[in-house]
A = this chain, B = another copy of it.
């Protein structure tokens, strides 16, 4: 091997478009083409932590008062962002509710809560006949729905394509180290917030919860940009974003504890550091306080869907209907959603996103207008389904004891309709969350189950299964409202596969603290059933389809494989040879291969270290070499091997070596390798044997391993994966 690098090997993809040859056939010097990280990269946590560490030591070692004040200021900046984001998202969430309410009222034209003098469209247009009024009402209902949704889609498609969808999968990926700055731009923030209000008001089957988390993260990112300290540190950025995400959940569900736990369980970020959790805790609390302070509808309550119960206790036999509610339908919804997303990408729909939204809205509006429970906003429906019947109120005949069969039929029909519409809507080019529609579907099914049980109880109050109920059915034993809560829990468990955070969110949402046990049991069952039917929750499925480099926090168990089967062997790696590779060759490597970093070995394969491309570029720049042939022929040295090269031929780059390099033997169990990537946020692990470099594993390899069971992995990736990206991007 005469030259110091190995780009001539066939198994390394030659990225032709990355550079052009100069006239004399040599490779030019645009080796510093890339910024630190471009969108689509994965950050190197250990490297970033190292930079942060150096910065902190520099601050602390300042003389006198500056040595105390500067670190304090640094911490104050962090808290400033956390607090302002919390306040901001609280207020934004409150005003979003107001905007949605106003737009929805406009659509239905009835006397809204915001304006008592409001007239229906029929009244306003002075139409007298009942048929005419109904028709004009329906017409305006559908037209305005289309206008809102179409407007949202136009905004998203033309101005901020990253503002579509829920945003949770991207945020999970970003918090795990994915670089995706465009996703958090101020422009995305604005379009996502505005588009969210429009799409929610359009009556499509979607929720505001996920997008609110995205909005919160965008807000934090705008604030981060104010301070250069954070702008340049990707690890610190992500710590602040984690707190913002918690605040977003807190506002979306009025659930400050749920926000923290969502961060803990679903975003899997706080597990790394307790002070990150701590900031999430503060951001969550502040966001909830702001929301309560703005108090859009004068209720001053965080509990959105207050439940009331016939009795304060529940009976063991009720667990039987409850556990049947879980899992299967959730998995079905995920499958359906994935299939529709794949069809969308591979069909003509891909070219007409706005038209698709308009069609979906027309169908949704038309069908929903016919079914009483589907016509109202899902949040209103859920709030009513969670309520018990009493004499004073009757919600669209739901409490009419003579129409039980009709109600059960209608509720099931609504649930099926919503499953189809939600699976279609979630993934169109509008901001759309999955939480609320899922709650709606589950609540319909649960209420239907509750009505069935109630009818059975009324018909056979003395049957053995109802022995624990009072024998007089007029006293009340079955609480259909709570069955709706259970249904919602089970459905959410099946779709998101969350456990603890879901239970907390649910009872912060409903206030059903005394019934926490059945909620826990049903969430458990539905996760079990769901996991048996299909491994991934809906967010994981989307992450895999879009091929974000995110490591699911699963317990990976290998079948006896070792690190050897996961690693790229030495032959497929671009290695810089200590005291052999020349400066010219190094520049060529840097220009040609856009890998994040390169291992360094001596001429016998002995492992010397690892250097990132950025540090190599920096070290080269500091040497201030000119472009003469003599300078280009200098040998790059990184270690004591420099002694093999005459002093005048050396280019000492040893400062480019990374301190935090982890080495393993290739006999190590694969599960330990995966585990290390999951827990330590690594970007690569090097394999050595008796001091010789034997291979390399990158995060991408581990991600590919963990998503290999999912048949549609990378189906929606932005650009089709090339081999080199697969191997070690």
Contacts and interface: CB of A to CB of B under 8 A. Distances in A.
Interface stretch (A268-276, A337-345, A352-360, A395-403): A268-276
Contacts of A313: 300-301
A499 B278 CA distance: 8
B524 A516 contact: no
A662 B659 contact: no
A608 B691 CA distance: 9
A500 B665 contact: no
Given A302-B514, A303-B513, A524 B559 contact: no
A500 B261 contact: yes
Grouping DSSP codes into helix (H, G, I), strand (E, B) and loop, the A interface class, with mixed when no group exceeds half, is helix
Contact of A274 (B60, B553, B671): B553
A520 B300 contact: no
A271 B274 contact: no
Interface residues of A, number: 80
A72 interface: no
A718 interface: no
Nearest to A61: B560
Nearest to A299: B313
Nearest to A686: B663
Interface stretch (A173-181, A188-196, A502-510): A502-510
B690 A608 contact: yes
A351 B672 CA distance: 48
A470 interface: no
A292 to B, nearest CB: 8
Contacts of A53: 557-558, 560, 669, 671
A532 interface: no
A691 B271 CA distance: 34
A662 B660 CA distance: 13
A571 to B, nearest CB: 20
A264 B663 CA distance: 30
Closest 8 CB pairs of A and B: A691-B691, A679-B679, A663-B663, A659-B667, A271-B271, A285-B520, A273-B555, A57-B560
15 contacts: A53-B669, A56-B557, A257-B503, A257-B504, A272-B679, A281-B520, A281-B524, A285-B517, A288-B517, A300-B313, A659-B668, A659-B669, A660-B669, A661-B668, A679-B680
Given A57-B559, A275-B555, A659-B668, 20 more contacts: A49-B672, A50-B669, A53-B558, A256-B517, A257-B504, A261-B261, A261-B500, A264-B264, A284-B520, A292-B517, A301-B312, A301-B313, A302-B517, A504-B504, A606-B690, A607-B690, A608-B690, A661-B668, A676-B680, A691-B692
